[in-house]
Structure 1
Amino acid sequence: MDALHERTAVELRDLLAAGELTPTEVTEHFLDRIERLNPAVGAFATVTPERARKRAAELQETCGAGSGGDTPPPSGSLWGLPTGDKDLWNRAGVPTGFGSRAFAGLPPAEESDEIVQVLDDAGIVSLGKTAAPELGFPAYTEPVGAAPARTPWDLGRGAGGSSGGAAAAVAAGMLPFAPGSDGGGSIRIPAAACGVVGLKPTRGLLPAGSGVDSLGGLVVNGPIARTVADTALLLEAMLPRRAGGGVAHPYTLRAPSYAAGAYLAAAQRAELPDEAGGPRAARLGVTTSSAWDGFYDIAVSPEARAALDAGVGALAGVGHEVEQTVLAEAPEYAPAFRTLWMGGASAVPIDDPETLGRLEPLTQWLIRSGREVPARELAEAVRTLTGFERSLVAQVSAYDAVVTPALALTPRPIGWYDAEDPERNFEQQCQYTPFTSMLNVAGLPAITVPTHWTAPTAEAPAGLPMGVQIVGRPGGELTLLALAAQIEAAIPRPRAFPL
């Protein structure tokens, strides 16, 4: 049998269900991989080996795996599969660092967050906390006082953020897949920087992390994985269903509800069904325009254009209709988004001046600026972005999907972002990731998939990963998974793991 980390999550699931592997065997393999690679990659903020071993043993005992007895079969769609909790989420009994030195030494929470409970119910084994930047605000994961999360393709470059640790862990084979959260690109950015797949669901799709309960509806949870099928498998598990069908959560009413297994089937079938159930061609828009154009100097690098050309070429090659499009100018977007982003930061529950002073300059600037925003200005920003949402949804809905570069630049070197000037830092983040935040504002689903590797260098022997972002209509996850799977089939990766 191949090394377990070379198996996909779907393959591991099937081997576990058949009794050919045990949760303990899988857990030990990935813990060993973490012990060897995490010091270089910085994917985990906290590793919890003893808790993981205990959890694996409990799962194994509950279903009698390997015993041959008359005990119940494995329970949970992800039974025995390892993953990690983002270090912005609470797991009962495990410290949460929030990517910040200001929270060092705080006692662990007594209760787990909803997303953690959902994944536990699906049968996962948590191996620890994946690294995140301070409070999840930056698009890079380089917290002061902790090791940065690095893309395994070049350890001198960052993994992106804010789910940087999750993406780095998946790319390095320390986890088969990992959940993340995305308020402005925080799943898609690190997935692209690490050469893996990241999906931001439609606002309202997932009960835990729906986006409906956050300011402006920005933050949703979603999956990161090495393959499109594994991404779909984790998405399914994050969408718990009633025994009789449907999803037991009012926030999911906005998004379509499909039968269990539909997402994985779409990824594995890699076809867009027509009304008769047969495959059909899609009408795709392609653009390099973004909502930040005209506010900051946004330039799409040659590497990003090469990735876009490769992805679009793969889709055209299987028969899809492709046409260039330009998004409507939206000069109102950037100032309104900045106001909303700062308004969200203002609610961080830190009032003690000493604690606030231990935060990084970018975080302090966001919080202090947000607390100076008048209520009327924030309300106007929300109204402005609601109008932008209507416009962008209409533009995207004219197509089956719209394809953009995933990132405008190659993965950024560690230390590239200005650590002292928060205004400049914010601008740099937008220049690196101009295509992501507008989709959080619009609530649209989007998936990033690698399509191109740059020329090899001494620092990156296999090249740096670059990819495309595919944007769907509201509830269009099935289409996105099928299109991403077609790209995946058409464009081989240079090798499975860079390390």
Structure 2
Amino acid sequence: MNELHELDATAQSAALRSGEVTSVELVRHHLDRIEAHGATLGAFVTVTAEQALERAAAADQRIASGDAPPFAGVPTAFKDLTFTRGVPTSMGSAGMRDFVPDLNAYVVDLVEAAGFISLGKTNTPEFGLSSYTDNDVIGPARTPWDPTRNAGGSSGGAAAAVSAGLVPVAQGSDGGGSIRIPASACGIFGFKPSRGRVSAGPAGSDWSGLAGDGPLTRTVRDAAALLDAMAHPEPGDVRPLPEPAVPYAEWARRAPRRMRIARWSQTHLDGVSPGPDAVEAWESASRLLESLGHEVVDVDNPFPRELEPQFNVIWSSGIASAAIPEEVEPLLRANTRYWRDRGRASTAIELTRALQFLELTTRQVVTNLQAYDAFLTPTLALPPQPVGWFNESSDPIEDHRRELLFTPYTALYNMSGQPAASLPLHWTAEGLPVGVMLAALPGQDGPLFSLCAQVEQAAPWHDRRPPGFD
């Protein structure tokens, strides 16, 4: 058998059931890897080793009794934005490092009900605001492909952990690209589901329609299985989608029908263009899709540039309305204060107009795209960037400008509510991962999984691992 951390979660589950390994052994193996590599990568804020080993022992008993959920005993981790009962949840903020929720996010309950065992909380920027991961709690998360470079954000710790084999799968959240950005920077697969696919309950809110939880994995089948665990609406959800009639794991095993795929590489932002590595990755993916029998059609970027300022009104209003304790305010990073100040300057009328503009505009975009089954763009405009590149100026305005240079594509699908995935199909001459993004029409998560699985089969990436972490 391969090294335990070389197995994806589906294979680890099979090994547990066949008796090749126990959950205690599997959890200890991954805890040892976290101890060896976690600090180097800035992957984990909190490690819950004792709790994980206790749960692993209980999982072994359930497996032996024949009464175990499908992923009983398999390690995972939750993002440090996600409420976990009795476990510190800093939200990437030094002022919140002692905050311990007294309840779980619903997604935590669902993932644990599938049998997964959390090894701790993964690194995130303060309140998940940035497309890179850095904070005053433990510092930056780094991509295992070059630890001098940032892992991306805001699920950067989760992506680094999966990429380096510290856990086989991890939960992330995505309000502007926060699953797909670090997936690209860390050379793994990341899937943002359709709006309403995963509940924000019981304490979270989907008031803006931008954010949702999803999987970060090394294989498409693991992402499908983890989303199967997550995709159950909670009573009272504002915009719930029904549970899928066909499990996503089944979609990942199905060959897709021939698809008509629209592609574009130009951005909707003035003065922002993809770099040569992003274009090369996108062109290569286009040829691969054509070789698989799909029709790939060039179109202009259908999203208008006017979306960006309206998105910023909503984004800044969200962090401005966050109930941050008064004593924490002086400890906030400059970037967080910048966005809170922007949000406080917006009126209720401006926020309402921004929400309506996004809804009406993206509805028309989706209407205009009905002739296509899928959409191909770069995930990011640039490869992973040096750790200090985004905030080296200490100017939040320049920080934001550089974030737009880095990630001009991902937030559009948060605005439209479409499912989108980053696939690790390309590496630069220097060995840095560069993802490409495939998206589908709203609600078409299943067919998108089929397409991604077909691409993975044609151009496998699972065995490509960052040097020094094998």
Q: For residues 312 and 361 of structure 1, what CA distance do their matches in structure 2 show?
A: 41
1:277-297 deviation per Cα after TM superposition (whole angstroms, max 9, x unaligned):
xxx311000111333x22xx2
The farther-off stretch of 402-411 and 484-493 is 484-493
Aligned twin of 1:460? none
Determine which of 334, 339, 345 is the counterpart of 2:313.
339
For the residue of structure 1 that corresponds to 2:35, the secondary structure is helix
Q: Is the Cα contact below 8 Å between 2:391 and 2:399 reproduced in 1?
A: yes
2:446 is equivalent to residue 467 of structure 1: no
Aligned twin of 2:249? 264
1:178-237 deviation per Cα after TM superposition (whole angstroms, max 9, x unaligned):
010000000000001101000000001123469994232011000010011111111111
Q: For residues 330 and 264 of structure 1, what CA distance do their matches in structure 2 show?
A: 35
Give the TM-score taking structure 1 as reference length. Answer: 0.89
Deviation at 1:78, TM superposition (A): 1.9
Unaligned runs of 5+ in 2: none
Q: Is the Cα contact below 8 Å between 2:209 and 2:417 reproduced in 1?
A: yes
Relative to structure 1, is the Cα distance of residues 211 and 266 closer, same or farther in structure 2, using a 3 angstrom cutoff?
A: farther
Q: For residues 420 and 202 of structure 2, what CA distance do their matches in structure 1 show?
A: 15
Q: Is the Cα contact below 8 Å between 1:24 and 1:60 reproduced in 2?
A: yes
Q: Is the Cα contact below 8 Å between 1:452 and 1:465 reproduced in 2?
A: yes
Deviation at 1:396, TM superposition (A): 3.3
For the residue of structure 1 that corresponds to 2:369, the secondary structure is helix
Deviation at 1:80, TM superposition (A): 0.9
1:432-484 deviation per Cα after TM superposition (whole angstroms, max 9, x unaligned):
1111111111111001101111113xxxxxx0111211110111112211221
Percentage of pairs with the same residue: 40
- Equivalent residues in 2 for 1:92-491, closer than 5 Å: 92-106=85-99, 108-208=100-200, 213-240=205-232, 249=235, 251=237, 255=241, 257-259=243-245, 262-269=247-254, 271-272=255-256, 280-291=257-268, 293-294=269-270, 297-328=271-302, 330-350=304-324, 352=326, 354-419=327-392, 420-456=394-430, 463-491=431-459
The farther-off stretch of 32-41 and 415-424 is 415-424
Q: Is the Cα contact below 8 Å between 2:177 and 2:410 reproduced in 1?
A: yes
Question: When the two structures are aligned, how many residues end up with a matched partner?
Answer: 466
Q: For residues 253 and 384 of structure 1, what CA distance do their matches in structure 2 show?
A: 18
Q: For residues 416 and 180 of structure 1, what CA distance do their matches in structure 2 show?
A: 23
The farther-off stretch of 360-369 and 388-397 is 388-397
Q: For residues 210 and 232 of structure 1, what CA distance do their matches in structure 2 show?
A: 23
Deviation at 1:19, TM superposition (A): 3.2
Q: For residues 254 and 349 of structure 1, what CA distance do their matches in structure 2 show?
A: 25
Q: For residues 443 and 202 of structure 2, what CA distance do their matches in structure 1 show?
A: 13
1:381-402 deviation per Cα after TM superposition (whole angstroms, max 9, x unaligned):
1111111221222233320001
Q: For residues 89 and 332 of structure 2, what CA distance do their matches in structure 1 show?
A: 16
Relative to structure 1, is the Cα distance of residues 482 and 433 closer, same or farther in structure 2, using a 3 angstrom cutoff?
A: same
2:465 is equivalent to residue 496 of structure 1: yes
Superposed CA RMSD in Å reads 2.0
Relative to structure 1, is the Cα distance of residues 209 and 17 closer, same or farther in structure 2, using a 3 angstrom cutoff?
A: farther
Q: For residues 348 and 109 of structure 2, what CA distance do their matches in structure 1 show?
A: 35
1:387-443 deviation per Cα after TM superposition (whole angstroms, max 9, x unaligned):
122122223332000100010001111000135211111121121111111111111
